[in-house]
Structure 1
Amino acid sequence: MKYMIIIVVVLVGIMMTLLVGIPKSPRIIPPANPEDRERLAEGVVKKVLIVGGGLAGMSAALELAERGYQVTIREADTALGGVYMQTKPVRKLGRTFMVDGGMQAWFHNFHNARDIIRRLGVEDNFHRWEVHDLVYKNYQPERMYSHGIFPLNLAGMIYRSPNLNILEILFWLRCAWDFINYNHDTNFKRWDAITFDEYMDMFDIHRGFYDIVLEPGMKASYQDKAMLSAAEMFQFSHMFYVSNPKADYRDLAKMNQATAIMTPWADRLKSLGVRIELETSVGSLVFDKHGQIVTDTEHPSERFDHVVLASGLDGTKTILQNSLQKLKPEDKITRSRLEKVLKNHLTKLPLAPPFKILTVWFDKQLEGSYKPDVVQTPSFPPITFVAQYHVLKEDFALWANQSGGSVFMFHMFAWEQGEIPDDKIWNFIAPSVREIFPEIFERGFKVLAYNVGGSDKYPSYAKGLEKHRPTVKFPKEYGFPNLAVAGNWLHVDYPTALIERPISTGREAANQILLSDHVRQASLVVTHSHGPGHFQYV
């Protein structure tokens, strides 16, 4: 009997592999100019202005500085990191805390982001976040994790679920087929014209799997899920669920993100001669008669050979609009080119709803049986997920151990609740918190302090927008030979999401400069464009 069970399991595994396919390894995009020199020739001086000190700008700066370029980063804010990774000092309870602008996970498929961690030598500042906890109003709590080879890892997740069973999964096979046979080359042509909710309705997909697995992923994308493009959702799922058995493996920083990576990254850049100027705005660019950018209007005495706009969608739009207004009447060609860039692309790309991050210091810690370090909360708007920062972060743990208190970070993506004063947000979300962690109210936790952060600068991934997204090299296509752009709002020819987007496009922007100067480009490692299935859509 024992051998019969083993044979049956092996046969089922073989059949599933034949049907579903085998995940494909990441692919390498090699340099387009492998025969060129590795860095600028001795005595050659090339100056680059990078506007924006977020992940895209710092990624571009690292590639260029390592190859001998003189790089200047100008960041309008008081800290590096942009909308994803900014950490700022906050004075609370008689001491200064370094508070992140949200918790970021570094997923297995963030190949270029994780390459930065390795190059900086800060691997020990991160640890594995093993289990994915979720809590719902109408389902039992889930603890999801992926172990084993595909597709047995997915079967294991279903088997362990208190809410899903194999018979129910038969109802979402139509949806699974599209996930498994993902093809990045045709994904947006097929699905970008509809929302993922419309896709679910179109094929009458089983709601249980949607509620339990898919909706939390949609809400973690910073978007209004009612407007999220179906194509973006397929790409998101490919990155984090289907493309690799380890796709949902993720690491978290052990301490605040400035200490974990942003400060070491800045220190590396400075050691390479990069000049980092914080609280330094760039309002517009100065062009010569050939359409070359020579500097920015705030620093007219400086001259640059190349410029990278890594200032986010809104910042890039503002800088180019201001640049257009400052052109002289005789600059007709440059004016025409800028007008086309704005008309064809930037003005057609909106921002997503803002997100808010509420950090709360309490006088007590959870002691009950339900106290996950991080929990997603898809059924409890406006809260997207909750992180116990005193458990996750060493610097917050020190305060918690000394005081007996706790620090919770409430992430609220796609905030559409209107203008609620910062000092009223805790009272506004408290009813939802009561349902997630009733112990906080049953034991009378006292709020000692709180801090509100967030951003309204995140790009929208609503349906129908992909056709307006330009590539990193679009400025050259419009006649601006020494301008490149980088950021999470651009089109890329490979699957990418969240912090991997700006880091990858930053490297792409650097590559455009390297190619023009006959310096060997940097390779990119990217998630494979095809899912594991045998029948990718064409």
Structure 2
Amino acid sequence: MKRPARPGRDRRAVHHPGPSGAERLTGEAKVVVVGGGIAGLSAATILAERGVRVTLVEASPRLGGRVAAWPLEDGRTMSRGFHAFFRQYYNLRAVLGRPDPDLARLIPIRDYPLQRPDGMRDSFNNIPRTPPFSVMGFVARSPSFTLASLAKVDVPAALELLRVRFPDTYSHYDGESAAAFLDRLRFPADARDLALEVFARSFFADPNDFAAGELVAMFHTYFMGSAEGLLFDVPDDDYDTALWQPLGHYLARLGVEVRTGVRVSTIGPAGARTDHGELIEADAVVLATDPRAARSLVAGIGDPSGPMDAFTRRVAETVNAPPFAVVRLWLDALVAPQRPAFLGTSGYGALDNVSVLERFEAGAAAWSRTHGGSVVELHAYACDPDVLGNEGSTDRLVQHLTSELHRVFPETAHMGTLHSEVLVQDDCTLITPSPWNDRPGVETPASWLVLAGDWVRSDYPVALMERAATTGILAANALLQRWGVQGEGLWTVPTRGLLAR
């Protein structure tokens, strides 16, 4: 079989063939996909392309899950926060490429600096993309590294980053938190703040509660094991307009029944039942919800058999990350032109990044031209309860994040706010230092049920949106293999580090 063309520039990228079989389903099979986020959309795409009758059910009014966007007044939009579409997201980009083969709706961000209040700033622009020159170039240019601080680095621990082997690396760090690994690494404090903890928190977690294996995998995936580099793309408009509406139309053309605003209350061998008592009959279920909803649905299966009982306990032991917050401000003046479109921050309280949306979103740019102001988004990944304030009120949160914005972009202190939107959610997953192999995987003891989502274990070095897409494809492949149908091949960054034996 001819090896498929590489999806990026990394010559060491690895192709993982899907199951072999017939090109399309010869009989009839029905699948209900519960969850219309990236994982569910990916599973539905692969299944429908092979002739499976798919019903996709999403509780919210729109597709996209945790990368959703929705309209407001006056043409404005709101979302659940900034997401970076890295070039390493081979499988997600393949799904997005179904309605947009050239990925024309994704545009590059030139740079995304990381900044501290003392003025120290790291940049990923103009750094070589191919390991190990990427690491050498970053260290040489970064003010976070000095000869004195580099001398203190624990060399054996640092070499672990170059000796990864997946999936073994995930379980190698069982019981160790990301913070404990950083302590053992003895990286310079400045580098830890700017280059390490910022990325750890992008998993919506405090480094003390986050798995070291995930952190090590992240460094391999984004920096030390991939030649795609650390720059990324973003949609040229809000997520719904640029990504999910086109993909929804593509699924409809394949015959997928997309049902939004419908909540599933129970799942079983006969399919899924909605809150209104309707049974959506199916031969199999792809459970692709957020972890809290998945725990509830799995707990309701009610199968006391040994394998299912152990599986139910594994799902029940998954946990959610602390709440995250998104504050979007429509200001009455423009931020300074030298401000980057996206800025990561460390040391600014709960504020983790600032986005200037008119720099890349068409809708925000149109509003900016009409009103002469900037659309600025503030994102806090893992909020402290003291910052959130009283339940039901977001005043303290908005005041805190806005005051930090004034420190980051001082000119905004003199601007008025024409509109503001606030979102606080706690439906993201927390990947703790608990044993990796105890986490639920795609396949389950029930032949009719498979799992998908960024909370689901995958042996590949993938994370966040790419893990959601990858597990969605793997879930579809698992069902297709049972029906003798050819599955979808996957691509990942190299599964071994540069120094792995």
TM-score normalized by structure 1?
0.85
Q: 2:33 aligns with which of 44, 50, 53?
A: 50
* Superposed displacement of residue 74, structure 1: 0.8
Equivalent in the alignment of 1:387? 355
Q: 1:458 aligns with which of 406, 428, 434?
A: 428
Please give the residue correspondences for 1:497-536 in structure 2 after superposition, counting only pairs within 5 Å.
497-533=463-499, 535-536=500-501
Given that residues 218 and 225 in structure 1 are in contact (C-alpha distance below 8 angstroms), is that contact kept between their aligned partners in structure 2? yes
Alignment partners' CA distance in 1, 2:279 and 2:372:
55
User: 2:284 is matched by which residue type in structure 1?
Assistant: H
Please give the residue correspondences for 1:124-143 in structure 2 after superposition, counting only pairs within 5 Å.
124-143=104-123
Q: Once the two structures are superposed, what CA deviation does each residue of 1:156-190 show, in whole Å capped at 9, x if it has no partner?
A: 22332234345533433444311111222321332
Given that residues 145 and 191 in structure 2 are in contact (C-alpha distance below 8 angstroms), is that contact kept between their aligned partners in structure 1? yes
Given that residues 298 and 315 in structure 2 are in contact (C-alpha distance below 8 angstroms), is that contact kept between their aligned partners in structure 1? no
Given that residues 142 and 161 in structure 1 are in contact (C-alpha distance below 8 angstroms), is that contact kept between their aligned partners in structure 2? yes
User: 1:45 is matched by which residue type in structure 2?
Assistant: E
Cα pair distance change 1:433/1:143, threshold 3 Å: same
User: 1:50 is matched by which residue type in structure 2?
Assistant: V
* Superposed displacement of residue 296, structure 1: 2.3
Question: Are positions 1:61 and 2:44 aligned together?
Answer: yes
The structure with more helix, counted as a fraction of residues? 1
Given that residues 134 and 223 in structure 2 are in contact (C-alpha distance below 8 angstroms), is that contact kept between their aligned partners in structure 1? no
Question: Are positions 1:107 and 2:86 aligned together?
Answer: yes
* Superposed displacement of residue 24, structure 1: 6.8
User: 1:190 is matched by which residue type in structure 2?
Assistant: H
User: 1:471 is matched by which residue type in structure 2?
Assistant: G
Q: 1:219 aligns with which of 174, 189, 201?
A: 201
Question: Are positions 1:312 and 2:290 aligned together?
Answer: yes
Equivalent in the alignment of 2:374? 406
Q: Once the two structures are superposed, what CA deviation does each residue of 1:493-527 show, in whole Å capped at 9, x if it has no partner?
A: 11001100110000000001101111111111122
Alignment partners' CA distance in 2, 1:493 and 1:368:
43
Q: 1:375 aligns with which of 337, 343, 360?
A: 343
Instruction: Give the SS at the match of 2:123.
Output: strand
User: 2:37 is matched by which residue type in structure 1?
Assistant: G
Given that residues 309 and 484 in structure 1 are in contact (C-alpha distance below 8 angstroms), is that contact kept between their aligned partners in structure 2? yes
Question: Are positions 1:346 and 2:312 aligned together?
Answer: no
* Superposed displacement of residue 374, structure 1: 0.7
Q: 2:25 aligns with which of 31, 37, 40?
A: 40
* Superposed displacement of residue 391, structure 1: 1.5
Percent identity of the aligned residues?
23
User: 1:179 is matched by which residue type in structure 2?
Assistant: L
Q: Which moved more, 1:161-170 or 1:524-533?
A: 161-170
* Superposed displacement of residue 463, structure 1: 1.4
Q: 1:169 aligns with which of 125, 128, 150?
A: 150
User: 1:382 is matched by which residue type in structure 2?
Assistant: A
Runs of 5+ unmatched residues, structure 2: 1-9
Given that residues 115 and 343 in structure 2 are in contact (C-alpha distance below 8 angstroms), is that contact kept between their aligned partners in structure 1? yes
Alignment partners' CA distance in 1, 2:187 and 2:140:
20
Question: Are positions 1:154 and 2:135 aligned together?
Answer: yes
Given that residues 128 and 137 in structure 2 are in contact (C-alpha distance below 8 angstroms), is that contact kept between their aligned partners in structure 1? yes
Given that residues 30 and 284 in structure 2 are in contact (C-alpha distance below 8 angstroms), is that contact kept between their aligned partners in structure 1? yes
Q: Once the two structures are superposed, what CA deviation does each residue of 1:330-361 show, in whole Å capped at 9, x if it has no partner?
A: xxx65655433222x01211111111111011
Given that residues 112 and 340 in structure 2 are in contact (C-alpha distance below 8 angstroms), is that contact kept between their aligned partners in structure 1? no
* Superposed displacement of residue 300, structure 1: 4.7
Cα pair distance change 1:185/1:465, threshold 3 Å: closer
Alignment partners' CA distance in 1, 2:59 and 2:193:
40
Alignment partners' CA distance in 1, 2:278 and 2:133:
61
Instruction: Give the SS at the match of 2:152.
Output: helix
Given that residues 38 and 67 in structure 1 are in contact (C-alpha distance below 8 angstroms), is that contact kept between their aligned partners in structure 2? yes
TM-score normalized by structure 2?
0.91
* Superposed displacement of residue 105, structure 1: 1.1
Alignment partners' CA distance in 2, 1:419 and 1:71:
43
Q: 2:299 aligns with which of 315, 318, 321?
A: 321
Instruction: Give the SS at the match of 2:412.
Output: helix
Runs of 5+ unmatched residues, structure 1: 1-22, 287-291, 325-332
Given that residues 349 and 468 in structure 1 are in contact (C-alpha distance below 8 angstroms), is that contact kept between their aligned partners in structure 2? no
* Superposed displacement of residue 486, structure 1: 0.7
Alignment partners' CA distance in 1, 2:141 and 2:366:
35
Alignment partners' CA distance in 1, 2:229 and 2:425:
27
Cα pair distance change 1:294/1:336, threshold 3 Å: farther
Please give the residue correspondences for 1:86-485 in structure 2 after superposition, counting only pairs within 5 Å.
86-91=68-73, 95-121=74-100, 123-145=103-125, 146-166=127-147, 168-172=149-153, 173-286=155-268, 292-296=269-273, 298=276, 300=278, 302-324=280-302, 338-343=308-313, 345-367=314-336, 369=338, 371-417=339-385, 418-420=388-390, 421-441=393-413, 444-473=414-443, 475=444, 478=445, 480-485=446-451
Aligned alpha-carbon RMSD (Å): 2.0
Instruction: Give the SS at the match of 1:490.
Output: coil
* Superposed displacement of residue 465, structure 1: 4.8
Alignment partners' CA distance in 1, 2:45 and 2:159:
40
Alignment partners' CA distance in 2, 1:156 and 1:203:
20
Equivalent in the alignment of 1:11? none
Alignment partners' CA distance in 2, 1:347 and 1:406:
43
* Superposed displacement of residue 223, structure 1: 1.1
Alignment partners' CA distance in 1, 2:479 and 2:377:
40
Moved over 4 A (4+): 297-302, 333-338
Equivalent in the alignment of 2:6? none
Alignment partners' CA distance in 2, 1:339 and 1:484:
16
Q: Which moved more, 1:399-408 or 1:24-33?
A: 24-33
Alignment partners' CA distance in 2, 1:200 and 1:323:
41
User: 2:49 is matched by which residue type in structure 1?
Assistant: E
Given that residues 57 and 73 in structure 1 are in contact (C-alpha distance below 8 angstroms), is that contact kept between their aligned partners in structure 2? yes
Alignment partners' CA distance in 2, 1:100 and 1:112:
23
Given that residues 131 and 223 in structure 2 are in contact (C-alpha distance below 8 angstroms), is that contact kept between their aligned partners in structure 1? no
Alignment partners' CA distance in 2, 1:150 and 1:427:
42
* Superposed displacement of residue 530, structure 1: 0.8
Cα pair distance change 1:138/1:199, threshold 3 Å: same
**Rg: which structure is higher?**
1
Q: Which moved more, 1:60-69 or 1:165-174?
A: 165-174
Alignment partners' CA distance in 2, 1:482 and 1:131:
45
Alignment partners' CA distance in 2, 1:200 and 1:153:
20
Alignment partners' CA distance in 1, 2:251 and 2:404:
43
Q: Once the two structures are superposed, what CA deviation does each residue of 1:179-232 show, in whole Å capped at 9, x if it has no partner?
A: 111222321332131112212333544323212311211122211222111111
